A and B are shown apart, each in its own frame.
Chain A
Amino acid sequence: MPEWLEVVIRSLLFVVVLFLITKWLGKKQISELTFFEYVTGISIGNIGAEVAIGLERNIFHGIIGIVIFAAIPFFAGLISLKSKRFRNFIEGKATVFIKDGKIMEDNLKKERYTTDELLDLLRRKDVFQVSDVEFAVLEATGDLSVMLKKENQPLTAKDINLKVASIKEPQTIIMDGTIMDEPLATIGRSRAWLQTELEKLGVTIENVFLGQVNSYGELTIDLFDDKLQVAPPQERPLILSTLKKCQADLELFALGTESKEAKQMYRLNSEKLQEAIDKVTPILKG
């Protein structure tokens, strides 16, 4: 067998082995590189490359090495699920870098981080002024987690006592002009319903690049042809404005009528309606 052919076979074999190994180790190996996963990850890659190219090496030895390097973090992961102390030992603890708005110089030194690196990490979190930070922690993975002072945190609906409607995640039901049956079933809709909705918008399924259904069962689409304009769903704002008009009408009737009884009835109902409007406005507004 010519040497180049052997390299091809070995490479293909190790691509498969590495693929299976990383599949087995799962998402954790690639997502959060703790010190341990970092080391084993590099070693596994190195062994794979070494044996694929180095023809004098035994393929089987390479595979044993890879499996052992993969098995250790796997079992370490299993044990650390059970034991907090083991977890601290293997994965390391987080280090507090900023506390009560003050930089902990000793901890910085302990982790051998310079001021520049700290500023760099803060900037990645869109923080340019250290005095904006209340608390910051260097995680075992090497990421900096930052808690801003309350006045620097983004304003939320809760902060201004704004009532917002709770929603569910949207479902993507059309991709590249093809209907996705599974999400469609999740929201309890049929292909026939989709067909009708598309007809209402005046487009054909082939022309739809992406279609999503939101929490209120409204279909929003993006077309292949970007020159065409698609009207946004109008039903909810329309309901709200009709409600408001009816409420105003009732007020008007209450003022206009001479019958005391009717006046009372109109007034009461207008109040009831106003209450209902206040309740549904967060839902109908959006």
Chain B
Amino acid sequence: MTVGSDVKQCFASLKGVEASLSSLALRTLDDESKRTLHEAMMVIHEVTKDLKKRVGELEGEELQYKGF
């Protein structure tokens, strides 16, 4: 395993969490919990954006593992 694939895996997991949080926020009946979940989702979205950029950089360095 290379660093690139590790980062990619983390990126994918975060994407998954983002989606789960979003669906949980939609299903939650309490407004305050709903807002907290939504805010957390936004933060995670920002993190994934940074990670995606980093994945791109890493792919430049590890050409043989390209595929993103």
Contact = CB atoms under 8 A, between A and B. Distances in A.
Interface of A: 165-168, 187, 215-217, 235-236, 238-239, 242-243, 245-246, 249-250, 253, 256-257, 262, 265-266, 268-269, 272-273, 275-277, 279-280, 283
Contacts of A216: 24, 27-29, 33
A257 to B, nearest CB: 8
Contact of A280 (B6, B27, B36, B51): B36
A265 B48 CA distance: 12
Contacts of B29: 168, 187, 215-217
A273 B13 CA distance: 13
A93 to B, nearest CB: 40
How big is the B interface, by class? 20 to 34
A276 B44 contact: yes
A256 B46 contact: no
Contacts of A279: 36, 39-40
Contacts of A165: 30, 32-33, 36
A252 B10 CA distance: 11
Contacts of A236: 24
Contact of A269 (B9, B30, B51): B51
Nearest to B39: A279
Given A165-B33, A250-B10, A256-B3, 9 more contacts: A215-B30, A243-B17, A245-B13, A246-B14, A246-B17, A253-B10, A276-B40, A276-B43, A279-B39
Given A239-B24, A272-B46, A168 B14 contact: no
A227 B44 CA distance: 42
Contact of B30 (A167, A249, A266, A275): A167
B54 A242 contact: no
B6 A253 contact: yes
Contacts of B39: 276, 279
A266 to B, nearest CB: 8
B33 A166 contact: yes
B62 interface: no
Interface in B22-66: 24, 27-30, 32-33, 36-37, 39-40, 43-44, 46-47, 50-51, 54, 57
B30 to A, nearest CB: 5
Contact of B10 (A249, A262, A265): A249
Most interface-central of B6, B33, B39, B40 (chain A CB within 10 A): B40
A275 B43 contact: yes
5 contacts: A216-B24, A216-B33, A239-B24, A253-B10, A273-B44
A257 B16 CA distance: 24
A256 B10 CA distance: 15
A239 B51 contact: no
